[in-house]
Structure 1
Amino acid sequence: MNTHKTVRQEAGTVGENPVRLEEEKTARIIEALNTDLADAYVLYHQLHKHHWNVEGAEFRDIHVFLQEAYEAVEAAADELAERLQALGGVPHANMATLSEVATVDPENEDVYDIRTSLANDLEMYGDIIESYREHIELAEGLGDHATAQMLREQLEGIEDHAHVFHHYLEDDTLVLDSASN
């Protein structure tokens, strides 16, 4: 590892930003976005875990959907981090910090049946949806309309995925239960 270190900006600080938002306002938005970033990475890893472990008659469709979902979360996280940087902030990128800042709790390392896994995912999506709504209001209230718009666009995708999870968890299925044969 290179021992020469030149720190351009310390984590937790707010630098100048080209979008001309006041530092105090920007600091509040950066904190909110870093929370969203941390939550995104918790969700990303949980979705990826379920993608790896899904089994059963609907394996293929759920496996593909979970990949689409975690790829969408990863893209959103990248956009959040880039906006943080544009606002003069430092995006959290350390696993310990991300775990500490996240407001959602991942399930443990055990592998669960797919219905339990998807229910856990839907619960996390719901928590993230609520957080996004609060952060949209915060950004709007502080005059950061661009961040609010970015979050609105991401929220739309998050809600769409939550809707699909909800459908997967419905009772209607073409798969026959062995007890009903």
Structure 2
Amino acid sequence: MSKQTSVQQEFGTVGDNELRLERDKSEQIIDALNSDLAATYVLYHQLKKHHWNVEGAEFRDLHLFLGDAAANAEAAADELAERAQALGGTPVAGPAALADHAPVDSEDEDVYDIRTSLANDLEMYGEIIESLRDHVELATNLGDHATAQILREILVETEEDAHHIEHYLEDDTLVTENAMQ
């Protein structure tokens, strides 16, 4: 908890920006960015959980992929937060606020087999992809083409990671004990 007695900017407020985007438009875009930011951090933590707990015949490849996918999510979160700040907003940051703003639900704390874990990841990726597409359209319609471009770049990376998970979930991967007997 901060001991500072004055707040520079309250969360949820939007100040002026040097990007010359009107405040009402900035507010809408910042809300969208914070939603994507929160969802991306939920995804990041779930990917890290699976990165830490993966085991089995394809451990190494999956461990590396999940680490890379988590790093991609972390980089995307940074871009989203910095853009929200550039537009005069405050990026959502604390664990409780992230949970409140995320349009996705994380897996519980239990550990599941990797196929179930990846299926849960893929479901979350799908929800985030749909949200990113909606927010690209929102930013474009509001005339914020730079935010739309940032979201498009994040969308491309997010779709690529989701597509890799689809490949891992194909029938000929993720050897199980039953297949080895």
TM-score by length of 1: 0.96
Structure 2 distance, partners of 1:79, 1:5, is 29
Q: Distance in 2 between matches of 1:174 and 1:125?
A: 20
| 1:5-47 deviations in Å (ceiling 9; x for gaps) | 2211111000000110111011000000000000011000000
Aligned match of 1:24: 24
1:87 alignment partner in structure 2: 87
Structure 2 vs 1, CA of residues 2 and 78 (structure 1 numbering), >3 Å: closer, same or farther?
closer
Report the AA paired with residue 110 of structure 1.
D
The residue that corresponds to 1:8 in the other structure is 8
- Match of residue 72 from structure 1: 72
1:180 and 1:11, CA in 2 relative to 1: closer, same or farther beyond 3 A?
Answer: closer
> By how many angstroms is 1:139 displaced?
0.1
Unaligned stretches of 5+ residues in structure 2: none
Deviations 1:104-153 (A, max 9, x none): 01111110000000000000000000000000000000000000000000
Q: Distance in 1 between matches of 2:25 and 2:150?
A: 17
User: What RMSD over aligned residues (CA atoms) do the two structures have, in Å?
Assistant: 1.5
Query: How much has 1:94 moved relative to structure 2?
Result: 1.1
Deviation at 1:85, TM superposition (A): 0.4
Which residue in the other structure is 1:164 paired with?
164
Percent of pairs with identical residues: 66
What TM-score, normalized by structure 2, do the two folds share?
A: 0.96
CA displacement at 1:172 relative to structure 2: 1.4
Gaps of 5+ in 1: none
TM-superposed CA distance for 1:178, in Å, is 4.5
Residue of structure 2 equivalent to 1:101: 101
**Where does residue 123 of structure 2 map in the other structure?**
123
CA distance in 2, matches of 1:86, 1:180: 54
Q: Which residue of 1 aligns with 2:58?
A: 58
Q: d(CA) in 2 for partners of 1:135 and 1:65? A: 27
Q: Which residue does 1:47 correspond to in 2?
A: 47
- Taking the aligned partners of 2:128 and 2:5, their CA distance within structure 1 comes to 36
AA paired with 1:124?
A: M
How far does residue 173 in structure 1 lie from its aligned partner after superposition? Answer: 3.4
CA contact (8 A) 2:15 2:88 kept: yes
CA contact (8 A) 2:115 2:174 kept: no
Secondary structure at the counterpart of residue 55 of structure 2: coil
Change (3 A) 1:167 1:9: same
Distance in structure 2 (CA, Å) of the matches to 1:43 and 1:61: 19
The alignment of Structure 1 onto Structure 2 pairs a total of residues equal to 181
41 and 176 in structure 1: CA distance in 2 versus 1, 3 angstrom threshold:
closer
Task: Return the alpha-carbon distance in structure 2 between the equivalents of residues 2 and 153 of structure 1.
Answer: 35
Structure 1 stretches of 4+ with a deviation exceeding 2 A read 1-6, 173-181
